[in-house]
Structure 1
């Protein structure tokens, strides 16, 4: 393609670039040229390359040339550009940055944001008088598309800009967004899409996502949905809301009985896979623009003289060094992997903060007003450092940030590259960053991540097949907006990349679920949410259903949260606390239920004293100085070790020449392991067995992440139970597993040379997995999440919200009914698919079992090895909450190491 010329820019824009001392970059002009050709495009560029300006430049030029609207209802101009961000904070930041060129060039352009924090009166005004550019999130797009005025609102849309696209497409949020994008292209076929991504491994996956995937050679199967659906008649005033069916209008015959055999996890494979795109079919791929170059990041591992522990994630030994880095840099972002770590790290840094540095805290459970204050202070250059989680991972441009510190292992190469890009947010200046391992295994992971960054290697996940529970939610949303015909909606849904291979049968099953709840639930009116009118159109049953949809839209199912309010003690009545303080944020409901009055916990950077729960709020007061806190245990925000980094860690372990690049304490530890046992090869599985304290232990090191290891541990204990070894339990971390039993595992393996191969055989993913899932609360938890997303169970009602306990009771009852009477129910299939790739990581476990086939190395030992100490320390660790947790772990580690090296 010939280079685009700067002459494409109007004089006003050329002058603005010149005034700024800039020249428009080639990729910015390329996107301007492709906009003129009516092409959708994916832009892949390093941090600081001007991706955001490139994405918006065509819109700014077109809107400037269009001129201001006349302001009358007849001549008002509609929404021109829709920007979608994975983070509310990013949308707010981009809106702020866009105002600069608009104001400096005096462009007649109105820019607004629409997030969950936008006041209701502003949202209503946006519907009546759309801005020129609207910046929003996937959830808000779903709500807009479910609005009765959606077609009018979006009919003039010209462009959709999807920022940080790589972070969206690998989740259910991406599924929901893809369906929304398909509806937008139906309403506004003239619109084009622009995808912006800084890190991507397979560009074609994202190129498919940006354009309709309709295949003109394939027509959907024609026919009606399952006969148990309800019919009704729409009203003249509200054509998309149905009246209850009149007598005689409901015709329903009994459906065939459900399948009696429970399908196993192979069922996920039956859920359609997207068809392959032929090389010549370019109409189903967006154009691709790749920006090469960019300064090599200056990233290193923080090395300490102190010996790191073999387990734990607090990085307490590194806090003085982190504080010194903050003190000697202008502005520092301190990233951690969980909200728990964020609270701990912030508290530890404040203990060291004798200089009174402005250090703030930012994570998703803090009250929105507190997060906004932090973001505004950061943008104004008033903060020295922010301790944050993934809430600030993406795209936000704070030019004053000159250092990124990542506490704990990065868990993925693409994730750490994204984070370090927050430092020196300019393409031609190197990002400066430090990785801070919290234990010795994390040294290996940090070393692997450093190598990946220097090689610019990526490990973004593969494109996913669209989830059926998300599809159910979308179908209801479309009924809230407009009546629809099945065939038309099916064709539109198949245009979305994740659903390009959706079968008519699966689509019918989803519609039947939204209409009746399914065969086993069809007798309950509450599950009937859409009905079919005499005109053949499907519409929402009534306005109440539409209201509940709007209150429950979205795919992020967090653990149930409860607000934390700061109380005030009454001087006149000691012991009486009034709930008159501000809301600090939210903690998990399950954690709050474990507290008793007088307990202390760490939240929002303060040590609080629990006073009680009143009116669905935790009431707390500030604890006395020096009080030891418990720490809230957040379930969200835990990242598994990526497959890519896991393979690199195994390769480093297996190659003694690589050990020279590790800190001396790490090399010494590995040499001790080699003398005591062995260090496994990159494809081997080391299994060690040894007696200890009247128990028999088995440890193994697959390096496949905590989720896959937990599933493996469950299945191993079932097999050991059948073998008569009387397992007592197991623990797992990202690197290995330890199983302990009353029976002598080594003796059994000595009598039967094939025992280990049999124990780790791939057939554990058959009947053993099915039997365990039938009994497991984890499967119920997965079903619960699918049920909430699909709308079977609403968490929020007008004026109230269900507690986590209420949701659990409701979904557990439904789960038991469906498993017994309708094992092929669409939500059970969705839950099995989720279990395979998410909570249980069965797919990754299966790949690991294939890898180690015939490569299991069993080492019977008389005592624990140095390598096994790390996973043995997981036993009992979750019960340690207080400030002396590190001391307790250190004592346990010392005892185990003394034993290993004796």
Structure 2
């Protein structure tokens, strides 16, 4: 049975881009496939390899050994790909095996993959590196024909992408003629994405295959009963839960996306509390739940046993749940690509119009729905920035290679620089990293635990210490969240894991919500928290690190564009029409903020003197602008500030009047001397110190501990801080220290975006408006500041009092 016959047996017609993949496989070395979600990308690439493979076989045999390796960024997606490939193998009655190896795989499953290797392996970057550390890695991969990076856009912009690049470089060293394919649905910089995928080899033939399918996306906003005069972030989202329930009952199967795991827990419980009919028909899915629980939800979705699933990004990539005919996004997604990816889960088939409901967390977020509609219609998708020269990932990779076989520095340097991320790495810097691994560097040379590579008589490097090998394999990867504690019932059932910081604040008898249940904390033992069911008692919801995503610059531009149009009287979106009372109130109090002019509002309240400003650059950039502005004002007057930000604007607050400084100064938003000013205004050393913990963990200088005996987060922080201080004082040119500072400025502060924002503010009209009271755009920023210091109940009371006061005035 060939590909055409197989498609015909499924009553499908191959699409032009799929046929293009099949025709191009033998003609090109590297390919990036770009096609909409739900259009059949998996079968396009799998059949491209399979057709070529079968045509080159004299006879079909079940010889062991990887022929195709498929890299996936998500566990749920890995399982989905395995099922899709298995279906083809079963239909064709091929004696090939497909297996999946992820962090969820048991020890027995991992051993079987090494001893009885399947022809097709679906895995993750971390698991692939673990296999590369095997002593038999060359024989393990010596039959490999093709490697595929699925959802390449998701991997490319992170250190996991760098891991993938380095793994591909090593596999190409073992098998120089292997094909390298990437798959992506939503990415702006396709050309660069192919370059990163293909690596630094100009002799290879590369191609981008793009689908001509234009999959429409219908965006339907869910409106509050009335537009709040003073909307506050996170206030009205849950209040729309009844409307969400109505949508669930109107559709066959619904995915409800939240931006964080904590929000998923809150929404799941709220929906159950409001509608008892949903018990047994609604489920929860996020990355901190146990493998068994996640697998059950995925199977139930496939088998049409669920009406709805509340989920996070754990289900927004590639997974094909055909019964899903409806998707709901709660809260602004903060990015165009992310929203489009989630919309694609609905009616997951070619030429089917995707449908997604947008539930705002406050009324002003409806502007984002209008902005998203325009951005998607124009296909303005965010670029993914490539991570360049992350030395910590390189150090980890070199230890991985040293575990598998002895290597010569010059030979491995060629492999490393064939990866796009390290194409400009000079040999002197490479030797410095080898020096860290062999001798511990300049300041750690007295401590054996930092000496990992040993030089042999043949002038090669290898790992010989079994303790080093074991520790390294336990810690391969670049995801360095806070230490996690397993949650387990007293009688043994495992539910998932939460961060140690959260559990450490609980005492016996405290109630918290997790895995959709109310749980009573009993005790902690060997990094496991034991709990019992707490019935329907209320409790706190765990918080996980990295919960708040900044607004992308592309989406910010479209939001500003919508506000510009409103100022011109051009109202084409129903969301903007709905928001007219709020926008008119803002206009009456001050003006409509947008990017063509820079609006600042100044007022006095009982709290003190406030400055509100609206750059529309996302919360990270706003935090940097606020701190920079406060520092520059303090140079002109002895004054202290508190700051607050959201994705649209910022607030600085003082008990002293500083209006005259604002009015008379021309350099407060200057981009001159920015790096030096930022180091002084935001305490860059402290941010770099926090980043250094992650860098030191990835490169192997910090060990998290053995299973069941993990080191407490505070101990890791203490060790990282000690190392940071040592390097800062005695080895300021240390590459890992420099990387921590670089990440502080590039990732945390977003220095490039900050510089562009300040340059724009310098070159557009600036307007300071003295107002008698905060307006609708300022109000959510004030609420964000109060949220840090008040409990939920007290915050609601305070919000209501502020709202009444401002409306009365």
Shared fold (TM-score, shorter chain, > 0.5): yes
Q: Distance in 1 between matches of 2:10 and 2:284?
A: 34
Q: Distance in 1 between matches of 2:262 and 2:715?
A: 25
Q: Report if the CA contact (8 A) 2:72-2:149 is conserved.
A: yes
What secondary structure does 1:445 align onto?
A: helix
Q: Distance in 2 between matches of 1:159 and 1:609?
A: 50
Tell me what 1:859 maps to. Answer: 769
Shift of 1:141: 0.8
Which range moved further: 42-51 or 464-473? 464-473
After TM superposition, list the pairs within 5 Å mapping 1:78-97 onto structure 2.
78-97=65-84
Shift of 1:892: 4.4
Cα deviation, 1:592-611, whole Å, max 9, x if unaligned, reads 22223333222111222333
The 1:774/1:303 distance shift into structure 2, 3 A limit, reads closer
Q: Distance in 1 between matches of 2:561 and 2:598?
A: 13
Tell me what 1:18 maps to. Answer: 8
Q: Report if the CA contact (8 A) 1:869-1:896 is conserved.
A: no
Return the match for 1:593 from 500, 504, 528.
Answer: 504
Q: Distance in 2 between matches of 1:889 and 1:517?
A: 55
Q: Report if the CA contact (8 A) 2:32-2:207 is conserved.
A: yes
Unaligned runs of 5+ in 2: none
Q: Report if the CA contact (8 A) 1:59-1:80 is conserved.
A: no
Q: Distance in 1 between matches of 2:798 and 2:46?
A: 52
Return the match for 2:302 from 368, 379, 396.
Answer: 379
Matched, 1:609 2:609: no
Q: Distance in 1 between matches of 2:464 and 2:729?
A: 29
Matched, 1:329 2:255: no
What secondary structure does 1:307 align onto?
A: coil
Matched, 1:287 2:207: yes
Q: Distance in 2 between matches of 1:460 and 1:761?
A: 27
The 1:502/1:863 distance shift into structure 2, 3 A limit, reads same
Tell me what 2:723 maps to. Answer: 814
The 1:645/1:356 distance shift into structure 2, 3 A limit, reads closer
After TM superposition, list the pairs within 5 Å mapping 1:553-564 onto structure 2.
553-564=476-487
Which range moved further: 461-470 or 124-133? 461-470
The 1:609/1:895 distance shift into structure 2, 3 A limit, reads farther
Which range moved further: 846-855 or 544-553? 846-855
Cα deviation, 1:578-634, whole Å, max 9, x if unaligned, reads x32422211221122222333322211122233343332223333343x33222121
The 1:681/1:709 distance shift into structure 2, 3 A limit, reads closer
Q: Distance in 1 between matches of 2:140 and 2:487?
A: 38
Q: Report if the CA contact (8 A) 2:34-2:209 is conserved.
A: yes
After TM superposition, list the pairs within 5 Å mapping 1:454-603 onto structure 2.
454-566=377-489, 579-603=490-514
Tell me what 2:552 maps to. Answer: 642
Tell me what 2:532 maps to. Answer: 621
Q: Report if the CA contact (8 A) 2:595-2:615 is conserved.
A: no
The 1:560/1:826 distance shift into structure 2, 3 A limit, reads same
Shift of 1:776: 5.1
Shift of 1:354: 3.0
Tell me what 1:56 maps to. Answer: 46
Tell me what 2:605 maps to. Answer: 692
Tell me what 1:311 maps to. Answer: 232
Return the match for 2:711 from 778, 782, 802.
Answer: 802
What secondary structure does 1:782 align onto?
A: helix
What secondary structure does 1:37 align onto?
A: coil
The 1:749/1:539 distance shift into structure 2, 3 A limit, reads same
Cα deviation, 1:453-502, whole Å, max 9, x if unaligned, reads 22222113233323121111111111111111111111111111122122
Shift of 1:117: 1.4
Unaligned runs of 5+ in 1: 1-10, 215-280, 567-578
Return the match for 1:367 from 266, 285, 290.
Answer: 290
Q: Distance in 2 between matches of 1:833 and 1:896?
A: 45
The Cα RMSD (Å) is 2.1
Cα deviation, 1:663-708, whole Å, max 9, x if unaligned, reads 4452221222222212234233222221111511111111111122
Tell me what 1:206 maps to. Answer: 193
Q: Report if the CA contact (8 A) 2:149-2:182 is conserved.
A: yes
What secondary structure does 2:723 align onto?
A: helix
Length-normalised TM-score, structure 2: 0.95
Shift of 1:506: 2.5
Return the match for 1:427 from 350, 358, 361.
Answer: 350
After TM superposition, list the pairs within 5 Å mapping 1:137-536 onto structure 2.
137-214=124-201, 283=203, 286-308=206-228, 310-313=231-234, 315-356=237-278, 358-536=281-459
Shift of 1:768: 2.9
Q: Distance in 2 between matches of 1:506 and 1:659?
A: 56
Return the match for 1:105 from 78, 89, 92.
Answer: 92
Q: Report if the CA contact (8 A) 2:488-2:494 is conserved.
A: yes
Tell me what 1:40 maps to. Answer: 30
What secondary structure does 2:309 align onto?
A: strand
The 1:193/1:775 distance shift into structure 2, 3 A limit, reads closer
Shift of 1:167: 0.9
Q: Distance in 1 between matches of 2:513 and 2:790?
A: 14
Which range moved further: 862-871 or 436-445? 862-871
Q: Report if the CA contact (8 A) 2:38-2:345 is conserved.
A: no
Q: Report if the CA contact (8 A) 1:31-1:55 is conserved.
A: yes
Q: Distance in 1 between matches of 2:286 and 2:572?
A: 38
Length-normalised TM-score, structure 1: 0.85
What secondary structure does 2:167 align onto?
A: helix
Shift of 1:869: 1.5
What secondary structure does 1:587 align onto?
A: strand
Which range moved further: 53-62 or 825-834? 53-62
Q: Distance in 1 between matches of 2:726 and 2:682?
A: 15
Tell me what 1:736 maps to. Answer: 649
Shift of 1:29: 2.4
Q: Distance in 2 between matches of 1:552 and 1:483?
A: 21
The 1:812/1:485 distance shift into structure 2, 3 A limit, reads same
Q: Distance in 2 between matches of 1:30 and 1:13?
A: 13
Shift of 1:301: 1.5
Q: Distance in 2 between matches of 1:775 and 1:95?
A: 45
Q: Report if the CA contact (8 A) 1:85-1:136 is conserved.
A: yes
Q: Distance in 2 between matches of 1:461 and 1:210?
A: 13
Shift of 1:714: 2.8
Which range moved further: 306-315 or 463-472? 306-315
Q: Distance in 2 between matches of 1:636 and 1:559?
A: 10
What secondary structure does 1:867 align onto?
A: coil
What secondary structure does 1:558 align onto?
A: coil
The 1:113/1:694 distance shift into structure 2, 3 A limit, reads closer
Count how many residue pairs are aligned between Structure 1 and Structure 2: 801
Which range moved further: 764-773 or 403-412? 764-773
What secondary structure does 1:872 align onto?
A: helix
Which range moved further: 712-721 or 132-141? 712-721
What secondary structure does 1:135 align onto?
A: strand
What secondary structure does 2:788 align onto?
A: helix
Tell me what 1:712 maps to. Answer: 625
Return the match for 2:748 from 839, 864, 867.
Answer: 839
Q: Distance in 2 between matches of 1:407 and 1:356?
A: 19
Q: Report if the CA contact (8 A) 2:602-2:609 is conserved.
A: yes
